[in-house]
Amino acid sequence: MTRNMVSTKTTSEQVNATPNGQKTRSLATQTALMEAAESLIAEHGVHNVSIKDIVLKAEQKNPSVLQYHFKNLQGLIDAIHQRRNQQTHVKRAELLAEKQSSKPAPTLRNLCELMVYPTFLLAKADKQYRAYVAAFSLEIALTDESAYALVSHSGGGGESGQRLGKLLRAALPDLDDATYTARMDLAVRMCSAAMGNHMRQKGAMSGPKADFFINNLVDALAGLLAAKPR
């Protein structure tokens, strides 16, 4: 019995010492730091959160652990966006495939659903994803640059984003390119602000309140995009 116990412990130590074991621990540490940052930024704002705050929230003993994995705070934020954008892209691709496989062809409202449902469904299923939306939604809504261009190169990008963009453009033939771009910029800002505000409310992602919110947002989005230009 004693020999077996010693053998098991040694094997465990050997596994933890392998490159795969080190990689697993490294990924776990990175995830802890990213999620700690999301929660703190959602609560206090990005300008009121320090590296020290994040390290403490992530329960890391090494004060330099964030710099080791991400170099600096901006590197951490970039990694957070990359992680969540990939999740959004995968969910959008899944929903887009479902819409395109059904008949009749997707309506403008169906396409507007695809603009917001990936984020909504991920947030509904994962409290930590909700923290991400609450943390960074205003960054998009209040950007001095084009919000449409910003999301097109991040969460709105990827293959699924490009496919959705082509379908949306084809569904709005009455809009010239300048008007279409301006409408999409307004749509992105409206959705980001609405999502961020909703995610901060208690009980916002369950029951009739959640359904009313997302349906109302889709209706507003479709109305904005479909309005006849003057």
Residue 165 and residue 60 share a domain: no
Any domain includes 166: yes
Question: How does pLDDT run across 156-213, given as a tens digit for each residue?
Answer: 567 888 899 999 999 999 999 999 999 999 999 999 999 999 999 988 898 999 999 9
DSSP type of residue 47: G
* Residues 123/136, Cβ–Cβ less than 8 Å: no
Residue 105 and residue 219 share a domain: yes
- Please, what is the Cα angle at 126 between 123 and 128, to 5 degrees? 95
Any domain includes 31: yes
Domain with 26 in it: 1-71
Q: How far apart are CA 184 and CA 223, in angstroms?
A: 12
Any domain includes 66: yes
How much is the pTM? 0.86
Question: What local confidence, expressed as pLDDT, does residue 44 receive?
Answer: 95
Angle between helices 108-125 and 73-101 (to 10 degrees): 130
Any domain includes 158: yes
Q: How far apart are CA 124 and CA 180, in angstroms?
A: 30
Residue 176 and residue 215 share a domain: yes
Residue 97 and residue 189 share a domain: yes
Question: What local confidence, expressed as pLDDT, does residue 104 receive?
Answer: 83
Question: What local confidence, expressed as pLDDT, does residue 18 receive?
Answer: 60
Q: How many CA atoms lie within 13 A of 50 on its CB side?
A: 5
Any domain includes 76: no
Neighbours of 13 (CB within 10 A): 10
Q: Which of 14, 41, 71 is the last residue of a domain?
A: 71
Residue 33 and residue 102 share a domain: no
Residue 108 and residue 21 share a domain: no
On the 0-12 / 13-18 / 19+ scale of CB atoms within 10 A, 199 is: buried
Domain count, the chain: 2
Question: What local confidence, expressed as pLDDT, does residue 4 receive?
Answer: 39
Any domain includes 132: yes
Any domain includes 178: yes
Q: Which of 71, 90, 122 is the last residue of a domain?
A: 71
Least confident stretch, 125-129, 148-152, 175-179, 219-223: 148-152
Question: How does pLDDT run across 7-60, given as a tens digit for each residue?
Answer: 334 444 444 556 677 888 999 999 999 999 999 999 999 999 999 999 999 999
Any domain includes 152: yes
Residue 62 and residue 7 share a domain: yes
Reported confidence tier of residue 141, pLDDT bands at 50, 70, 90 = very high
Residue 213 and residue 133 share a domain: yes
